[in-house]
Chains A and B, each alone.
Chain A
Amino acid sequence: MLPLPVLDPQPRRSRLSRREFFARSALCGSTLWLLWSLPRPLALKAARQSAERLVFSEAEWKLVEAISGRIIPTDEDPGAVEAGCVNFIDKALAYEEADLRRLYQAALRAIDGLAEARFGQPFVDQPTERQDEILLALESGDVPGWSSDRASPSEFFQIICAHTIIGFLADPSYGGNRDYAGWKLIGYPGPRHEFGGYTPKQMIGEEKIQTVWGTEID
């Protein structure tokens, strides 16, 4: 068999710059704008294997955990901290999102730098109002000493926001949504095929629904 004469395999497609796809922030007819910042199956395996730190240092882990806790705060219900979103992100960065590791590391340094400069203490030691103030600065792109050319501060904020939210709501086997915290909050019972789907009465709210974690919702 002849190898392809004219059709030399090319390197994997060039990725859209993050700027480009976040600029298209609505789906624009495609559900795929986040395609490039999501964990692949290896991360799934890793998450199953361990909830240990694979990428973040202890300090980075705490910082990401604290940031995620402001994105989905804890109130009378669990938030991103209890759901283990930082574990989801750690596993993503360990594998398929390995190329985002440097961005995370640089961004986390800059965030702590900003916290020190403004308030004389690292981010995690600040009260939540000040943490929010720092995140608002990040969101609006106002971070002195930002060193990453991979993404702007506001783009990084969108990435960590999306990662946190996905970690909160994706299937727990990816390492987040611990104890189904995300699904419990929103009233989603989990995938139902293996339970035989829903009855017509459940579809009109006349019968309770069994969740995959064994409780019932109205």
Chain B
Amino acid sequence: MVRLTIDGKEVEVPEGTNVIEAARRLGIEVPYYCYHPGLSIAGQCRLCMVELGNNPRPQIACNTQVTEGMVVRTDTSKVLETRQSIMEFHLINHPLDCPVCDQAGECWLQIYYMKHGLYEPRMVDEKVHKPKAVPLGPHVILDAERCILCSRCVRFCDEITGTGELGIFQRGDHSEIGLFPGKELANPYSANVIDICPVGALTDRDFRFAVRVWYLDTARSICPGCSRGCNIEVHYNLRRPHHNQGRRVARLKPRYHAEVNRWWICDAGRYGYKFVDDPSRLVSPSRGRGDAAVEIGWDEIIPVIAGQLRRYRPEEMGVLASPKMANEDLFLLKRLVDHLGLAHVDFSVPPRHPGDEDNLLIRADKNPNTCGAELVGLGPREGVGHGGARGILRAAREGRIKCLWVFHHDLLASAWPEEEIREALRTLECLIFQGSNANRVSAAAHYVLPSATWVEREGTFTNFEGRVQRFWRAVEPLGASLADWEILGRIGAALGLGPQPVRAEECFKALAAAVPAFAGLSYGELRDTGKVVSA
């Protein structure tokens, strides 16, 4: 550890810490643009100047490591004047088009200019003009005039993805960020450059002009896109419902987690939330197949479902749970399955096209909670010999299973022959579909139970490493949809299972008490960063 003094306050930090981070410990903000804790140091923007000891000239804090007894000042008039001059330089050729800039409201030029601006601009010359609104790839669009050449985006592509698409071309005040002519910014993590671009130079083609950022609210969440379980923020808009075509979720942003995803998320995960406000959402329980389907209320359908579950003998019933369900849901389902004495239970349905994977974040398993489903015990049971989900479907085809309860899966998108599945679905006497969006299974179902999506409820996922992580509710469930655990609780009550949890937290508590891997865990214990189960 190294002791130093910043603005008269002492602080102790590990060796190798730079002055920006040391100051942060004390709650002292040293402004910067080019520095990013996840990237190499560039020393490009010059904004983080501080005074060190008796050095006659201010020095950049990002590239200065702390030393024992170092005396730093971030609040002297020399430092403040330096910041003002640097800001003036950064804005010499800036177009000042904030009113039509998507970054406005979360732009670090605006934020620091408010603190360190000159306010009386001295620039009278014509500004240098550069390309505006240039799509760089499927997700990112560039306004080169707004770029302050911090090189974060370049370093991201060099150091994190190793794809090197971006560069700074030309020289002096004609320098501009860009791609090698004819190339695209299309790596699987490309949109992270939007997050790290401190200004409005790189913006999101998907989010652009959808909602002004000051109308957005934020909920902490976990990406459900694969078994990595990247920590994210859900940005949603309820204050201007007429913006963004009524879509409530406006964008997903990465949330730092030191051991899961650091500062990043992949593009597939970032844009994978569209199903939440999609017209395909199931918004009411219904009975009857296809055109004969009629919407009914929960109070009406719950006893009917319970009746069906009672009607068949255990060996005539099958359950296909989903690794997209939260631990809370899976646990209540497990309790129900055990109560009914069902053996034909599985959760794993292989996708038609195996998922891609890399060694940064993306995992081949596109489900957020495969590990949870295994731990809760919804996998094929040893010794029962039903051959897993495919065996269950075979039994349905052969009429041995008469009642099947499918959660979320679009079985027709699985690796198994479509005809095999169609036949199974046709043959069933009673097909119950529970899920958030309509698919070919819900279309064939006798009963549909609409689930809330993960942003409409709280819960936990267990990622591939066994890390149990919480997600929080952002928006209300659409229509009459309910969290899976709530639906299962109501059915459980109707089946005489006794009092059912009324909050997700209670489900988790019961899970922790029943499943050894989760022993000792609670929502309080999980906090923001989650906990790895003792598998």
A and B associate: no
Chain A residues packing against B (C-beta within 8 Å): none
